[in-house]
Each structure stands twice: as structure tokens, then as C-alpha cells.
Amino acid sequence: MKYISIQEAIEKNSGKVSIRGWVHRERGSNKMKFIVLRDSSNIIQCVLKKENFTKQWNEIDKLQVESSIMLTGTIKEDKRAPSGYEIQVNQFELVGKSDNYPITKDQSVEFLADHRHLWLRSQKMTTILKIRSTVFGAIDEFFKGEGFYEYHSPVFQAVQCEGGSDLFSVDYFGKKDVFLAQTWQLYAEPAIFGLEKIYTIAPSFRAEKSKTSRHLTEYWHAEMEMAWATFKDIQDYGEKLIKHVVKQVLEKNKTELEFLGRDISKLKPIVTKPFVRMTYTEALKILDKKCQMKVPWGKDLRTIEEEKLTKLYDVPIICTHYPKKVKAFYMTEDPDNPKVVLGCDFLAPEGYGEIIGGSHREHDIEKVKKRLKEDGEKPEEYEFYLDTRRYGSVPHGGFGLGVERIITWICKLDNIKDSIPFPRTMERYKP
Ligand code: ATP
Ligand code: MG
């Protein structure tokens, strides 16, 4: 018996098929059993008549949702059935029994989170995870296609890069100055002197104490770093990457986007239209004029301001030249205005906010040291990093893309937690 997927069976359209999967829904009478069977490809209605299964009827009659079964039968079109097809079954085998599956209709968000290992099987989660798989593949394909090497940095680190407040410390054989990586950056910059163009997709960890719909404590971070890069190169690569990812999802996940009710016309401009580029200072003027929001110069943009700003455009905004004091120590001071840095945030439309943070890297070792001190850090701890500025330094830069952030936006999810199989937040680290 050769088992094919439900989708392949549907495409076969008629004749004998053998399929296997899980009972998605079931109902029956004393003569018939209707099963909607699910596998990773689709769902299909299957009909089992008592007269054909006298010996097995007791087992079939008691079948509950999520039991795993294998069956053979004849497939035909049936407009009334959920996916437009039905199978008249003549062979049936129960593989794994399922009793009183805990997940039923209308359960609370908390209950579903406690049963995340089971909720993963839901059509909603499966659909999102298929898009997630496309996104990871597309990122990888993009960077390889642009001549970047895949490179790996340590997760245990003894330095901070994005501010000390959200570091996770680890008990490292009794030593307390070891943290989980917030970013690969300080270990990526040393590698560009050999490989020039590098990227990674790896978990980053941040002890986010605030409850927002955009922050996880463990998230997947797609990062790139590049020798000889200008600030414009960094922005261009970010724009091309996002265009490529969205294009791939539109091509490969039409069914999934439809299932999620995603308005595809909102994603199409991302592929075809140039992104909007503006400086932080221009952004403040637009916020004032068009959104009646006054932000004093020097303050970082808050979620609410980013949200209002991104709703004005149908493509991401690349916001540049932020005040130095709101950005990390490694960003290049603008040669034309030392109050701002050559850093850029990519803000996704429809109110989704920051998906990429990037910058040109400060090459002046004295400036890097000074800013580390201002952050309360000891430059001595960063000697290995400072060597990148001592031996043949070149202009360079890079960015980090929050993979769950882009999935959340592409799928138009309410909360980032649904973009990852087992979300980790301040309250949730189980199951
Ligand atoms: P935010 O202001 O939203 O907290 P950030 O400025 O701390 O972001 P960066 O340090 O620039 O973010 O990190 C690079 C990218 O990683 C961000 O653009 C975002 O897409 C993603 N990111 C950062 N923190 C998180 C998080 N806690 N959960 C998920 N993704 C995150
Ligand atoms: Mg942050």
C-alpha cells in the first residue's frame, strides 16, 4: 500500500487512494461514520459504512478526535464536503487511539498556552508554521544568493551589546558575568575581516520585563554584517531582504494567507514599491503635522508613535539618523551632525512597528570607548572587540531582523506569541 497525502489524493481526483492522518472531526449514526481526516497537507471527509466493517465497527463507532488512522477507499468530488472531496472507505486501521482530547471549542488563551504542545496541531498554528518555514528558507536563500557566508557566534557571552537592562545572566560554573546572547554582533564584526559578508539565523535572548504584543524573551534573529558597507548599503540590503521574504510567502503560501484571512493586497506593494526613507527628525515633523503628536527631539519613538507613523504608508519606513543617546554605543556618529548616528530602524506598515534595527559601525576606537564608558561598561572587557578597530579596520555595518516580528506582520497576527511554536515570555517558559 502506498500512502499519499490528502492533497495528492485530491489532485488525483478519482479512483482508489490510501491516506493516513488524524481525526479532525467525527460524527456518526448507527449505520455510518463521517470523519474529517487531517494531515499536514489538507483535510478530507471520509465515510465509513457499518455494513462494510462489521468486525471493526465497535472501534470505528468509538473513534474520537485526534486518533491516528490509515485508510483506503475511493475518492470522488463532493461539493458539500469541507475540501470539496469525499472518500468512501473500504479498509480501515486504527494506529493510535485518542481519548477525550483536551482541546475543544472556545477555550481560553491561557488554557491553549498550557496545552501548547497539543494546540500546535490546530489548523491555525499549522498554517502559521508553514509560513514561518517559508520565511526562514527565504532569508537563507536571500543571503546565500547575495554572496554572504553563513557564520555562527556563541550564545554564552561575557559582554552586552544592546544595553545591560535586558541581559539574561547564566550561572556559568559559579561565574556570574556570563550572559545569553542579545545579538551576534560583537562576535560577527571580528569575522568580516576574513569572510567580508556574513549572516546568521539564530536565537537571541532578552529579559523583556514589559508585557507587549511584540516582545519575546527568546526570539530568532536574522543578522548580517558586511565589510566595506556604506550606510546606504545596509538599508538597501534590508529592503531587498524584506521584499524577497514577502515575495516568497506570496508565491508559496497563498492558501495559508487565505486561511488566515490576510488581505494580500496589503502585501503586494511591499514587493513592488520602494520603501519610504526618512530621518528621525523628519519623522517627528510628520508626527506633529499629520498625527498631532509632539515628540521632543531626542526622545526615542514609542510604540504608539511608530504605530501612527506606519499607518500613513503602505510600505515599510526606513527611519534613519536617530539621536546618538537613544542608540547603541557602536553606531557611527554622522560626520555632518555629531548629535545623530547612522542607524536605521525598519518600521512595518499597519502599525506593526520595528522589524529591523541596523547601523553603520563606529570606526573611531576612542569614540567607541567613550560611549561604552557612558553606558557604564568597562572598555577592558571589550578588548577583543576593540581589536576590530586596531588591525586593518574598514567601514562596515549590519542589521538584525526579528524573524517573529516579520512573521507576525505578514500573517497579521494580534500577538507575536503565535508566530513561534513555544513562545517564551516573562510569565511563560513551560511547556
Ligand atoms: P524594540 O525597540 O522593539 O525592543 P530593539 O531596538 O530592542 O527593538 P534591536 O536591538 O535593534 O531591537 O534588535 C534587532 C531586531 O530584533 C529588532 O528590530 C526586532 O525586529 C527584533 N527584536 C528585538 N527585541 C525583540 C524581542 N524581545 N522579541 C522579538 N523580536 C525582537
Ligand atoms: Mg528592545
Average pLDDT over residues 367-394: 93
- Nearest protein CA to atom 24 of ligand 1, as residue: 215
Are 245 and 393 in a shared domain? yes
Average pLDDT over residues 250-269: 97
Average pLDDT over residues 6-16: 97
In a domain, 405, yes or no: yes
In a domain, 215, yes or no: yes
Q: How confident is the model at residue 423 (pLDDT cuts 50, 70, 90)?
A: very high
Average pLDDT over residues 186-212: 96
Q: Distance between CA atoms of 244 and 242, rounded to whole angstroms? A: 5
In a domain, 425, yes or no: no
Q: From the CB of residue 374, how many other CB atoms can be counted at a distance below 10 Å?
A: 11
State pLDDT tens for residues 131-169. 999 999 999 999 999 999 999 999 999 988 777 789 999
Gap from CA of 403 to ligand 2 centroid (Å): 14
In a domain, 147, yes or no: yes
In a domain, 1, yes or no: no
Q: Please work out whether the CB of residue 355 comes within 6 Å of at least one atom of ligand 1.
A: yes
Q: To test the ligand 1 pocket, which listed residue (162, 220, 354, 406) has its Cβ within 8 A of the most ligand atoms?
A: 354
Are 56 and 129 in a shared domain? no
Gap from CA of 402 to ligand 1 centroid (Å): 6
What's the pLDDT score for residue 159? 85
User: Could you tell me the residue range of the domain that residue 89 belongs to?
Assistant: 6-96
Are 171 and 272 in a shared domain? yes
> Which atom of ligand 1 is found nearest the CA of 221?
16
| Crossing angle of helices 123-145 and 403-411, rounded to 10° | 120
What's the pLDDT score for residue 162? 78
- Nearest protein CA to atom 25 of ligand 1, as residue: 215
- Domain of 344: which CATH number? 3.30.930.10
Q: How confident is the model at residue 331 (pLDDT cuts 50, 70, 90)?
A: very high
Average pLDDT for the chain: 96
What's the pLDDT score for residue 176? 86
The domain boundary, picked from 96, 124, 157, lies at: 96
Are 287 and 161 in a shared domain? yes
> Is residue 1 over pLDDT 90?
no
> Is residue 246 over pLDDT 80?
yes
Domain tally, the chain: 2
Are 129 and 269 in a shared domain? yes
Q: Please work out whether the CB of residue 221 comes within 6 Å of at least one atom of ligand 1.
A: yes
State pLDDT tens for residues 35-50. 999 999 999 999 999 9
In a domain, 431, yes or no: no
The domain boundary, picked from 96, 126, 156, lies at: 96
- Nearest protein CA to atom 6 of ligand 1, as residue: 357
**Do 400 and 181 contact (CB within 8 A), yes or no?**
no
- Domain of 26: which CATH number? 2.40.50.140
Q: To test the ligand 1 pocket, which listed residue (182, 204, 234) has its Cβ within 8 A of the most ligand atoms?
A: 204
Q: Please work out whether the CB of residue 206 comes within 6 Å of at least one atom of ligand 1.
A: yes
In a domain, 389, yes or no: yes
In a domain, 221, yes or no: yes
The domain boundary, picked from 37, 68, 96, lies at: 96
> Which atom of ligand 1 is found nearest the CA of 206?
27
Are 124 and 54 in a shared domain? no
